[in-house]
Amino acid sequence: MVNQKPGLIRVLMWVIGPDRLVHVLLALGALLNLALFAYIGWHYRALPESLPLHFDILGQPDRFGVRSEIFKLPAIGLLLLVLNSLFGLAIQRWEKLGAYLLLGMAPVVQVLFWLAALNIMG
């Protein structure tokens, strides 16, 4: 009897393919985003009620918001991760370099969101 993979895994392998670099880039982006959610959640109670959310050209805060708004950063990062991944996987079979660019930028964007969160959280 042939070892059959479960249905979901077969579908994912058909969509993603056997390309290890694609697997690594997808996992890295997802791990960075999940870690940012966890980091903010871990430090949430220690944050002040009002956080600086935007800075002017001199580095002075010019927009403040409630501390729960800090979760917008990883949420937007997740949205961008999903969009980059969907577009990258959609063109992967025909344009590998474009797919690698889209999938490779997802972790870079997550690092930028990490830097923004760390800067805001001080």
The reply to whether 1 falls in a domain is no
Answer yes or no: is pLDDT of 1 > 90.
no
pLDDT at 10: 59
pLDDT at 35: 97
pLDDT, tens digit, 9 for 90 and up, residues 91-106: 888 888 998 999 999 9
The reply to whether 32 falls in a domain is yes
For the segment 3-31, the average pLDDT, to the nearest whole number, is 74
The reply to whether 12 falls in a domain is no
- The chain-wide mean pLDDT, for the chain, equals 86
Could you give the number of structural domains in the chain? 1
What range defines the domain where residue 33 resides?
18-121
In which band, very low, low, confident or very high, does the pLDDT at 15 lie, cut at 50, 70 and 90? low
For the segment 45-61, the average pLDDT, to the nearest whole number, is 86
pLDDT, tens digit, 9 for 90 and up, residues 74-85: 999 999 999 999
The reply to whether 115 falls in a domain is yes
Spell out the long-range contacts of 33-40 with Cβ–Cβ below 8 A and sequence spacing 24 or more.
Answer: 33/74, 33/77, 33/78, 33/81, 33/110, 33/113, 36/73, 36/74, 36/77, 36/110, 36/113, 36/114, 36/117, 37/71, 37/74, 39/117, 40/70, 40/71, 40/73, 40/74, 40/117, 40/121
The reply to whether 75 falls in a domain is yes
The reply to whether 114 falls in a domain is yes
- pTM reported for the whole predicted model: 0.80
